[in-house]
Amino acid sequence: MNFLLDGLNEAQKKVVLRKDGPLLVLAGAGSGKTKSISHRIAYLVAQGVAPEKILAITFTNKAANEMKERIFSLLKRLEAEILPVPENFDDPPGSKQPGGTSKFSGTGKHPFISTFHTLGVYILRRSGEKVGAPKNFSILDKDESLSLVKEALKELSIDPKQFQPNKMQSIISREKGDLMDWETYSNEAGSDFYPSMIARIWKKYEELLAAQKALDFDDLVSKVVFLLKKDETARNYYQNLWDYIIIDEYQDTNKSQYELSKLLSARHKNICAIGDMDQSIYGFRGADFRNIINFERDFPNLVSIALEENYRSTQNILEAAAKVIEKNKVRKAKGLYTKNVKGAEISLFEAMGENEEAEFVIHKIKEVLASGVSPSDVAVLFRANFQSRVFEEMCLKHGVPYQMLGVQFYERKEVKDVFAYLRAAANRQDLLSIKRIINVPPRGLGKVSIANKFAGKKLPPAAEKKFQEFMDLLDSINKAGLSKKTSEVVAFVLRETGMEKFLEEGDGIDQERLENVKELVSIATKYDHCDPPEGTDKMLEDAALMSAQDSMDMSGQAKKETIRLMTVHAAKGLEFKNVFIAGLEEGLFPHSGFGDRSGERDEEERRLFYVAVTRAKEKLWLSFSVIRTVFGSKQMNMPSRFLSDIPDHLYKMEQFKFQPEDVIRYE
């Protein structure tokens, strides 16, 4: 059992050894928090805690799966030394379990390790009917949710120009995250025109969700909180289900996630929260880094431990990050340090324009790759998605393989079409899915015929026959789903719907789409161990809960060695040997408009830059452009204020000679 403490520093050992009572872990960037959490869970089991009594929650499936892999390895070793292994623990990661993608998460004889939303699905599937969540509910992604908002506006005859669907969706999402329901919102709105109109839209939106037996992403947590507050039986059951609760990235919790954490841990109070206020960058999603401060208020007898040794970055990179973040006033200061080498100086490049900046970055990347560095060890980070275009163009121009993180495999049209068939076959109330694929591939049902059918009007005999054939097709898919393995069901959909043949006969783009849906069959094999229809249901559920990072390795492109292009938000939790941070200009990074709420959003921008810097392990490049084209017009820029926070001795200015054909001239 001593091996569980081997290789840990003194602070990490304290995290592992503290068994009972509330524990707050302030984990600095690169301080080995995942290792500490994994060893803590294994140590709890070694101390006699039943594995199934442990719940661990993090924010992405990628992070949850990494944690599962580590814990699986530790418990296997623990078994060999002192413990009988929990039932089925010799199964490989990826085998059957409820509530996650590895065998050892769920509520069998193994820890439950998942995201907040996966946990919410698990609870609502079993106990959610009292809060309007049918057992076989569909989960709507952001685009599908937006479609329902648009439908609500249409049914209410509300002008979408005055009440923009995207904005309405954002307001509803924020309010749900703050544990507001439409009725309470409506009562508080009173007769005020704008809020009362939002309440009407929200009410209609909820009616459309209910009609389709669907929940949106925010419901997956908020409805669990409502359930546990409302239903004493459910509350007692889930409070007794887990004796020890561990929550990662606590600074990223919103109100509903925070309340769920409190409710689940209220009985035993063996809750461990791990977080870093300096890495709180999701305020726009409703995350509140002050939940770490509130944790101390809600659990007054807690023990607080700081993980301050950084194992990731060189001394130069870490010192630069520390100098930047110390300017923030609202934070819990940490003495982050490293025993790593001093490392190379940080490079800073001043470009005349965004094309010149991109040329410099890609030129340096080619030098790095030529030195033997793997492309996957290189990342280009930027503040806004629009900045990716010029880097993608330069990568293509210079033959540098790249992947733009954020273009998710599960968001591709052809993949969503397959999922729509599976969802519609299982849930005939899912009109969004039915409307999506009723004419995919084309089967001669025009928009007018489809609209008339769903309006209850009688169709001409030919159209009625085609519609009935479509419904018979859904019946056959549903029947297959009840008897076949998941991969066989997906292959059945491709074959019987005609999608496979249609794409085979198409153009180059269709060939790429065909490759993607065939890749989906391969992905589906991971669920073949599940009994039908559990495997298909689980695949749909996992896909709905995927983040950009989770889907990073789901496409064929990701199987190649590529550099990564991504926003800083998407890079959270990742690390690379070589990191380029581009567009460090006032108004872009920090982003314009971040000067309200008494400087709170200014501080979040600084935290965002801190996160960007601490992604780098060995070498960091910073760049900015004097002139940048934004919305079609060129504008002059001042260097980001963050650059002036980095001491002069930590960086060097880069010079770069362009070939004549590469020089960008500005009028």
Task: List active site positions.
Answer: 33-34, 248-249, 279, 615
Contact 251, 275 (CB under 8 A): yes
Q: Is 617 helix (H, G, I), strand (E, B) or coil?
A: strand
Sign of the CA dihedral 253, 259, 264, 269?
A: positive
Strands 633-636 and 627-630: antiparallel
Structure-token match 């904005």, residue found: 167
Which of 561, 597, 584, 562 minimizes the C-alpha distance to 639? 584
In the chain the first and final C-alpha atoms are separated, in Å, by 70
In angstroms, the CA 100 to CA 117 distance is 11
In angstroms, the CA 195 to CA 17 distance is 51
Structure-token match 């979040």, residue found: 604
H/E stretch holding 624 reads: strand 616-625
Contact 356, 659 (CB under 8 A): no
Which of 397, 315, 327, 389 minimizes the C-alpha distance to 363? 397
Contact 309, 339 (CB under 8 A): yes
Structure-token match 């690379």, residue found: 576
Which of 78, 106, 77, 107 minimizes the C-alpha distance to 94? 106
DSSP string, 315-336: HHHHHHHHHHHTT-SSS-----
